[in-house]
Structure 1
Amino acid sequence: MSTAAVGTTRRGRGARKAIRQAHDFKMLPSLKRGLPLTEPMDEGQIERIDAASMHILENVGVVFRDEIALADWRRVGAKVVGDTVYLDRGLVRELIATIPETFTYHARNPANNLPFGRDHAIFVPMTGAPFLRDLDNVRRNPLMEDLSNFHKLAHMLPAMHSSAHHIVEPYDHPISQRHLRITYSSMKHSDKTFMGMTTSPKNAEDVMEMCAILFGEEYLETHPVCTGNCNGNSPLVWDETMLGAMRAFCKRNQPVLCSPFVLGGANTPASVAPTVAQLNAEALSALAYTQVVRKGCPAIYGHYLSTVSMKSGAPMAGTPEISLMNLMIGQMARFYGVPWRSSTALGGAKTFDAQAGYESATTLMALQMAGTNYMWHAAGWNEAGMHCSMAKFVVDAEQCAMAYRMAEGIRWDDFDEALAAVADIGPGGHYLGHAHTLENFQRAFFMPDLFDNNSIEQWQAEGSVEITERAINYTRDLLNAYEEPKLDAGVDEALRDYIARREREIPAADALNQDL
């Protein structure tokens, strides 16, 4: 059975109801961390990174390959020579001080609104995969229906707080028009918050127009609903595509991730602390620019962080240096008082194997210890982002739920009652039938659905099913139990009309025409 067929497979209403009753699809609230953070730098080292970054901004400069941005920088008094902007540290501090440290993401279902920033965090699925591993575990080009199935899964998996956007690339739609259908799928198949395409300024404007249709033009002015991502070209370059898309989001008061694209050792120094100093300068330059565009608009300190194998030049995931840099970047973001993003559950493996699990778990845990606010690429990422695995997607989501529970910290609300049970049971007894156990067993210890903890005899009797097959079967069940959170009929019609008009206006045959 192909992946694209799964979401439309007809099953009896009773079977779908049984699946829904067996699983709780309610989204977890925004994670409010209750654990101490791991902070490897002392105050002097934080100031040393800050001073090095400010030195880079003032003396090396950052290239802004965009005439509008250069004019904006001149307007606020920055030194501009050619396309290089030299930013005075006082100006940078003044600008980033206006970025909100916290805000609330608003979803079309208000029950899925999310406090964000400081000690509140969210998990967001991966995006951008040109291939998928489907429910036959076959690596192939995705279609729009595959993307819709991922959006459905994101809607149903409790630890996923967003439907993201192009989790996989839908090859059955022209590149020049693809962003419209991707955005519609995010909006249609989930009522959680989502991301918006920033592949060109005009594409970003289309996303904003669709958000205005969904939520209302005035609503956008005061309510963050959609996140954009703008990648820098490390070292120290921002181009017109990303800057134009950034302006489209900032002007509508929607948050953007200001994300240097770091390949440690290739486009940064081959050393952890200097890499963080360069990355920090790049992120600060973009964060400052968001406030030039619109003072007070939400923005998120971002990065894509990988290290490069000095044997092959290939990007690596799950290395100790990536974890160390995440811990350091968390300290820098808190030093500036801005929320921050990192990538979690990253894997370089070609299949959903032990390497994928180890790499993903290492980064997932590091992000909890680092205090990351926007945990992106939290489900499905493998093969250095070249494919999204349907099996890994659901297992990663369960791992995020486990990390969520750990990061909440220790619960003390039933301490006295549980201690009373010790006296009731006494030496040599067991607690399985005690009233406290019966009342608390479901929440006392996390019980994964996708990991097998039974005896080997029982595992063999049940068919010796390994994790990939188990996850694929689970995914099929989820998709067959999916119920669409219906859009308002008038809003749906308006969105479809907008897409139809823009598809008439954008030449489908000219995949390179992004109306920059």
Structure 2
Amino acid sequence: MKKFIYDESMQFRIMTEKQVKEVHENALYVLENLGMIFAYEEALRLLEKAGCEVDYESQKVKFPRSIVEKCIESAPATFDLYDREGNFYCTFGDGKTRFNPGSSAGNILEADGQTVRLSRVKDLKLLTKVAQSLPHIDFVSSSIVCEEAPGELGSQYLYYTEMQNSVKPIIGGATDAEGVPRTFKLFEAVLGSEENVRTKPYAIFDICVTSPLKWSHIGARNIIDCANMNIPIELISAQIAGATGPVTLAGCILQHTVELLGGLVLAQVVKPGHPVVYGGAPCIFNMKTMYTPMEAMECSMVTAGYAQMGRFYGLPVHTYAAMSDSKIVDYQAGSETARSGLLAMLEGVSNVSGAGGLNVIAEMSIEKMVIDNDFIGTLKHLENGINFDETSLAAQLLIETGSGGNFMNKKHTLKNYKKEQNYSNITMNYQERASWIKEGRADIMDKARAYVAEIDKKTICPLSDERRKALDEAFTEVCKDAGLTEETAKELIRMYDEA
């Protein structure tokens, strides 16, 4: 993918080419004249060595234009991902939009669609199994924060659970400074060697900037560790328009650009050519409700703007979409999920996080994730476009059938209907009413509940005994490294097994 061009392919655009370049020029101006804070001394040393102006007392870094543009040039447009078994999975950034569940929800919406409670390891275990089973959920993720997990352990209990219930690549991250090397140990146990972890990337790490304009000790450390350990990075700005970012949408896009370019430079200084995804989770501060929606239309507009910037820089793009701020699976949930998911695909976003997410991603519904899978299937059908060849154009068939003819009895119909129409549907209803009534009047949540209940009975892609033993041993070492006892590690393993 070429750098510093305005892509002329057919996509949704919210900014003109002139406006994209204006954001770029202003971002370079802010980086060079104001800079950003990096609250980690090793990051300051690396950036100073690369030619940035560093004030160690204020932790402020100013970036010469030449360094920023050099780092944009060195960041790759695509990279390969592998599954848990070491098989090639996909080329990330290849022009396809891929989806994963929402992340880091503290609560779960139960199957009744009304009851909300703290999430537990049994929920993550089931959610991961369901995500593995769904054809249009491409990756699994650290979707919920298990109540049982000690705070000292960071995200490692989540990885421990996810790797045992899916072979799909993981969209994850770390919540503490030691999170990357500790997770690396778990990957090494499951993938078999350090070389496999380094040469066959199995996960992408989300790393969030602290808006406005600061990379924390944890964030900067995570960037450096990921680059050194060959783990692809997804940089995320989660600014809140009117609170941690300007209330103007153009100002949000500019701040987003500044923040991500600062993180990009650090990653490329550590290792030129390291994969970096241009991500985000924009919110607004609603002055009426005093809440921070993620799926208001303004959030989608900011996403559209920063997605253009990511494409301008020749980088794969990420966002949070195909989810809702609603508290239940209702019309609002459906409309926000559909609108944001469709726009993300039209914007050329490479990775969309959010399926199953509700209430500003504070809650996850496994049933909604099943419903979202069906909608995502329709998006992928749209993304594949219209088959256009001699057979599909069917000019000769029209001549043969003639006026008033019937296509139901044609071999052409039998041969092509599955290619032309999307039948990968679990929950949506396309029957006529009489058949629907005869079959019990099941609504979309009824079907989703039934699907989840069936998956819950199954064991899906478990690790071999040998790999499970290696993972348990690595997990125990990680727990001890985090200051927990071996007994605590064994108790967490027991709770997982009983979940």
Cα distance in structure 2, aligned partners of 1:208 and 1:313: 40
Correspondence for 1:102: 78
Secondary structure of residue in 2 paired with 1:227: strand
- Answer with 457-466 or 246-255: which moved more: 457-466
Secondary structure of residue in 2 paired with 1:244: helix
| Pair 1:422 & 2:398 matched | yes
| Pair 1:478 & 2:478 matched | no
Correspondence for 2:199: 222
Show CA shifts across 1:405-443 (max 9, x none).
Answer: 111212124635733332333222332222111122223
- The answer on whether the counterparts of 1:61 and 1:85 sit within 8 Å (CA) in structure 2 is yes
Show CA shifts across 1:181-222 (max 9, x none).
Answer: 311222111111113431112122111122223332123333
| Pair 1:490 & 2:463 matched | no
Relative distance call for 1:218 and 1:278 in structure 2 (3 A) is same
Correspondence for 1:190: 166
| Pair 1:318 & 2:292 matched | no
Correspondence for 1:162: 139
Cα distance in structure 2, aligned partners of 1:111 and 1:293: 28
| Pair 1:85 & 2:58 matched | no
Counterpart selection for 2:24 from 50, 53, 70:
50
Relative distance call for 1:145 and 1:364 in structure 2 (3 A) is same
TM-score, normalised with respect to structure 2: 0.90
Counterpart selection for 1:397 from 350, 373, 383:
373
- The answer on whether the counterparts of 1:208 and 1:248 sit within 8 Å (CA) in structure 2 is no
| Pair 1:63 & 2:37 matched | yes
Secondary structure of residue in 1 paired with 2:69: helix
| Pair 1:132 & 2:125 matched | no
1:333-348 mapped onto 2 (5 Å cutoff): 333-348=310-325
Show CA shifts across 1:430-485 (max 9, x none).
Answer: 322221111222232223331112233333333333222221112222333x4422
Secondary structure of residue in 2 paired with 1:452: coil
| Pair 1:181 & 2:157 matched | yes
Shift of residue 505 of structure 1?
4.0
- The answer on whether the counterparts of 1:128 and 1:385 sit within 8 Å (CA) in structure 2 is yes
| Pair 1:253 & 2:217 matched | no
Relative distance call for 1:413 and 1:508 in structure 2 (3 A) is farther
Secondary structure of residue in 2 paired with 1:146: helix
Secondary structure of residue in 1 paired with 2:12: coil
Show CA shifts across 1:82-121 (max 9, x none).
Answer: 2111111111111222111111111124556111114133
Cα distance in structure 1, aligned partners of 2:279 and 2:154: 25
Cα distance in structure 2, aligned partners of 1:386 and 1:211: 27
Correspondence for 1:4: none
Show CA shifts across 1:372-421 (max 9, x none).
Answer: 012122x1110111110121110111111111111121212463573333
- The answer on whether the counterparts of 1:121 and 1:372 sit within 8 Å (CA) in structure 2 is yes
Secondary structure of residue in 2 paired with 1:115: strand
| Pair 1:270 & 2:247 matched | yes
| Pair 1:306 & 2:280 matched | no
Aligned residue type for 1:241: I
Cα distance in structure 2, aligned partners of 1:178 and 1:101: 30
Cα distance in structure 1, aligned partners of 2:13 and 2:256: 18
Cα distance in structure 2, aligned partners of 1:140 and 1:152: 20
Number of corresponding residues? 474
- The answer on whether the counterparts of 1:151 and 1:163 sit within 8 Å (CA) in structure 2 is yes
Secondary structure of residue in 2 paired with 1:113: strand
Cα distance in structure 2, aligned partners of 1:398 and 1:419: 32
- The answer on whether the counterparts of 2:154 and 2:179 sit within 8 Å (CA) in structure 1 is no
- The answer on whether the counterparts of 1:197 and 1:207 sit within 8 Å (CA) in structure 2 is no
Counterpart selection for 1:354 from 331, 341, 358:
331
| Pair 1:453 & 2:430 matched | yes
Correspondence for 2:97: 121
- Answer with 494-503 or 230-239: which moved more: 494-503
Counterpart selection for 2:359 from 354, 369, 383:
383
Counterpart selection for 2:176 from 200, 213, 225:
200
Secondary structure of residue in 2 paired with 1:136: coil
Cα distance in structure 1, aligned partners of 2:398 and 2:295: 42
Shift of residue 351 of structure 1?
0.3
Secondary structure of residue in 1 paired with 2:178: helix
Counterpart selection for 1:331 from 305, 308, 321:
308
Aligned residue type for 2:102: M
- Answer with 76-85 or 410-419: which moved more: 410-419
Cα distance in structure 2, aligned partners of 1:284 and 1:254: 18
Correspondence for 1:5: none
Identity %: 24
Correspondence for 1:39: 13
Shift of residue 310 of structure 1?
2.2
Shift of residue 148 of structure 1?
0.7
Relative distance call for 1:220 and 1:504 in structure 2 (3 A) is closer
| Pair 1:292 & 2:279 matched | no
- The answer on whether the counterparts of 1:349 and 1:355 sit within 8 Å (CA) in structure 2 is yes
Cα distance in structure 2, aligned partners of 1:47 and 1:118: 24
- Answer with 122-131 or 319-328: which moved more: 319-328
- The answer on whether the counterparts of 2:100 and 2:171 sit within 8 Å (CA) in structure 1 is no
Shift of residue 177 of structure 1?
2.8
Cα distance in structure 1, aligned partners of 2:72 and 2:179: 27
Shift of residue 43 of structure 1?
2.4
Cα distance in structure 2, aligned partners of 1:431 and 1:229: 51
Show CA shifts across 1:157-180 (max 9, x none).
Answer: 111111112x11111232223633
Secondary structure of residue in 1 paired with 2:479: helix
TM-score, normalised with respect to structure 1: 0.87
Aligned residue type for 2:251: P
Unaligned runs of 5+ in 2: 1-8, 489-499
Show CA shifts across 1:309-347 (max 9, x none).
Answer: 121231224333333322222221122111111111121
- The answer on whether the counterparts of 1:318 and 1:362 sit within 8 Å (CA) in structure 2 is no
Secondary structure of residue in 2 paired with 1:199: coil
Counterpart selection for 2:382 from 406, 410, 421:
406
Secondary structure of residue in 1 paired with 2:141: coil
- After the TM superposition, list the runs of 4 or more consecutive aligned residues in structure 1 that deviate by more than 6 angstroms: none
Counterpart selection for 1:367 from 337, 344, 351:
344
Aligned residue type for 1:290: A
Aligned residue type for 2:65: R
Correspondence for 1:20: none
CA-atom RMSD in angstroms: 2.2
Correspondence for 1:281: 258
Shift of residue 508 of structure 1?
4.2
